[in-house]
Chains A and B, each alone.
Chain A
Amino acid sequence: MDERLNFTAAQQQRIDDCLNTLLAKTRAHGVLLADATGQLIGKAGIANDRKATALSTLSAGSFAATSEMAKFLGRATHFSQHFHEGEDYGIYSATVNPSLLLTVTFDAEAKLGLVRIFTKRAVEELERITAEAQENQDQGDGIDEMMDSEFGQLLADELDSLFAE
């Protein structure tokens, strides 16, 4: 899945709802959904856009670095979860699919067990949404290809028949 997924307004709303639910249920500070390049797809709890973008980019960088480590270790697949534990803050990231990363930031008030349970459920919901978006996109691509290959010929035929008279 190299190309960027496009979500419909309804799908984007479901993503936002999912992130907000995760935020509310886990006592987290912020929740971010970004692609592998760090481009934000959705966020909850972090009002500052620059901060959110910086965090998602760093998280994507960390994910890319550990993916390379996995390759060094002879693993074909990436790590599916990352957890950074500080004295006061924690960052927990989980992959939705190889190109999407869900990141949760939280402090000591949040229980890691709760973060893990509800992140897992959010990932399942986000997987469903991205699968739907991918399916829509594939269908769209099919129509585009059909249009590209057939439209030109049909137009030429129509013009020929129009001017033949």
Chain B
Amino acid sequence: MARDIVESLEEALHGLQEISPHVMGSAVVTSDGFVVASDLPSEMDEKKITVMAMAMLTLAQETMSELSASDLERVLVESKDSYIVLLNAGPDAVVAAVAEKEAVLGLLLVAMRQTVQRVEGILTA
């Protein structure tokens, strides 16, 4: 059963890359920064990436709670040549993805929402 969960999550993350080919890597992490599953290129350090992603998410959540009462929808970081997107996947997990700037942002977000739904389904099954 365990192998199924991790493999299913990795499959869902790999599916994201198939839907949106400009995605360079993605991961499912707990809301406090521990890796649940990942589909990252070998040059990316899994632990470092997830901890940095969680630092961004925590900062964004704190900022949102200071500024308004509404819940955080997503975190989007845009650089000259890439995007980093974080989306909540239920109360315990977050899906993080790094994509090239060539990705169409709207399509990337749709693909990520689909992945989030799959991840939520796997974790609650």
Q: Are A116 and B5 in contact (CB under 8 A)?
A: no
Q: Which residues of B contact A25 (CB under 8 A)?
A: 1-2, 5
Q: Which residues of A contact B1 (CB under 8 A)?
A: 24-25
Identify whether the interface residues of A are mostly helix, strand, loop, or mixed. helix
> Are B35 and A113 touching (Cβ within 8 A)?
yes
Residue contact A117 to B36, C-beta cutoff 8 Å: yes
Q: Which residues of B contact A (CB under 8 A)?
A: 1-3, 5-6, 28-30, 32, 34-37, 92-93, 123
Chain A, Cβ-Cβ closest to B27 = A113
Which 10 residue pairs across A and B have the least CB separation, nearest first? A113-B36, A113-B34, A27-B2, A24-B1, A113-B30, A112-B34, A117-B92, A113-B35, A114-B36, A116-B30
Q: Total A-B pairs in contact (CB under 8 Å)?
A: 40
What is the interface of chain A, defined by CB distance below 8 A to chain B? 24-28, 110-114, 116-117, 120
- A27, A28, A117 interface centre (most CB from chain B within 10 Å): A117
Chain A residues closer than 8 Å to B2, beta-carbon distance: 24-28, 110, 114
Instruction: Contacts A24-B1, A25-B1, A120-B92 given; indicate if A113 touches B6 (C-beta within 8 A).
Output: no
**Chain B residues closer than 8 Å to A120, beta-carbon distance:** 92
For this complex, 6 residue pairs linking A to B, each with C-beta atoms less than 8 Å apart, are: A26-B2, A28-B2, A111-B35, A111-B36, A113-B36, A114-B5
C-alpha spacing A27/B30, complex, angstroms = 17
